[in-house]
Structure 1
Amino acid sequence: MSANILLTRIDNRLVHGQVGVTWTKSIGANLILVANDEAASNPLQQKLMSTTADSSGAGIRFFSLEKTIKIINRAADRQKIFIVVKTPEDARKLVEGGVPIREINVGNMHFSQGKKEVTKKVYVDENDIKSLLFLSNSGIDVYIEDYPGDKKFPVNENLFK
């Protein structure tokens, strides 16, 4: 029996208004799982994200990537899980660790030195591209979509040409 993971989102802001409310409600999640080593050990970050989650009516948990991999398959059937990670590398680590992810939404990946624009909100470097293509080539539905119902850009080799 595998965990009921509705969607995984890559967003370098993790949980904020748009993710906490719009995406959570749109997919019908009742648990937001923030899989991020830093957030898992940062009470202030957790407090801010919990406030956002409260307004969506969903529960929220903060786990390191390793803890997520270890316990995800112990999730109860009633838990409709929305996983949020910070980077494509984090998503890849979860998949390589056996987390049953079927769909990945690429949200915000801000510009930084050495990154190129894919869409107005998604900037990637070689490492990001490798991880995104690894995920896409693993049979996972990976796409860029800013908010529910927005134009979807499937992630594949053509996207980065």
Structure 2
Amino acid sequence: MTPNILMTRIDNRLVHGQVGVTWANTLAANLVIVANDDVATDDVQQQLMKMVLPDTIGIRFFTIERTSQIIDKAAPHQKIFIVVKTPQDVLRLLENGVQLEQVNIGNMHYKEGKKQVAPTVSVDDADIEVFKKIKEFNVDLFVQGIPGEKKQDIFNLI
């Protein structure tokens, strides 16, 4: 059985108001999976993210490896929205057998050595190489901050 993954989003901030309310509701998700090795063991960050979501949406925190191991066990009624911190997290999911159709690049903070390619997305050469590897899995990679914005193919921006 293929899990019902609605979308995967790269967001340095993981779950915050824009992700927890706007995106989850627009997608009609009933489960948010935060796939991140650090947050999987950080109770404080988990509690803060749980506070953002309405009671009608469940949230789980797993390492990348654990997500890969259990995603195929998802129940058919689960409408899953996966949130990761980096493009590298997405690539690891794919390499571990998780089937993703589309990845929303929502927020990648600017820092020294990165170039801004969209208002909330900054990348370096390593990120671009990872995007190319993700594309080899036939994944649609697009930048879209909020649901009402037009999707932009990342390869048209870099």
Q: Give yes or no for TM over 0.5.
A: yes
Identical-pair percentage: 50
Check conservation: 1:24, 1:56, Cα contact below 8 A.
no
What's the secondary structure of 2:34's corresponding residue? strand
Aligned partner of 1:109 in structure 2 is 108
Rounded Cα–Cα distance in structure 1 between residues aligned with 2:123 and 2:56: 33
Query: What is the TM-score with the length of structure 1 in the denominator?
Result: 0.95
| Amino acid in structure 2 at the alignment position of 1:42 | D
| Amino acid in structure 2 at the alignment position of 1:100 | Q
| Amino acid in structure 2 at the alignment position of 1:13 | R
Check conservation: 1:5, 1:80, Cα contact below 8 A.
yes
| Amino acid in structure 2 at the alignment position of 1:150 | E
What's the secondary structure of 1:8's corresponding residue? strand
Shift of 1:126: 1.1
Aligned partner of 2:157 in structure 1 is 159
Kindly report the root-mean-square deviation, in angstroms, between the aligned alpha carbons of the 2 structures.
1.0
| Amino acid in structure 1 at the alignment position of 2:30 | N
**Aligned residues between the structures:** 158
1:63 aligns with 2:62: yes
Check conservation: 1:111, 1:117, Cα contact below 8 A.
yes
| Amino acid in structure 2 at the alignment position of 1:159 | L
Aligned partner of 2:121 in structure 1 is 122
Check conservation: 1:104, 1:140, Cα contact below 8 A.
yes
Shift of 1:155: 2.1
Rounded Cα–Cα distance in structure 1 between residues aligned with 2:55 and 2:5: 17
What's the secondary structure of 2:108's corresponding residue? coil
1:13 aligns with 2:28: no
| Amino acid in structure 1 at the alignment position of 2:37 | D
What's the secondary structure of 1:48's corresponding residue? helix
| Amino acid in structure 1 at the alignment position of 2:40 | A
Rounded Cα–Cα distance in structure 1 between residues aligned with 2:26 and 2:55: 10
Check conservation: 1:21, 1:56, Cα contact below 8 A.
no
C-alpha distance after superposition, 1:77-103 (max 9, x if no partner):
111000000000000100111111111
Check conservation: 1:69, 1:99, Cα contact below 8 A.
yes
Shift of 1:151: 1.9
CA pair 93-142 structure 1, distance change in 2 beyond 3 A:
same
Shift of 1:113: 1.2
Check conservation: 2:118, 2:157, Cα contact below 8 A.
no
Rounded Cα–Cα distance in structure 2 between residues aligned with 1:87 and 1:49: 17
Task: Give runs of ≥4 in structure 1 deviating > 3 Å.
Answer: none
CA pair 66-148 structure 1, distance change in 2 beyond 3 A:
same
| Amino acid in structure 1 at the alignment position of 2:157 | L
Rounded Cα–Cα distance in structure 1 between residues aligned with 2:121 and 2:55: 25
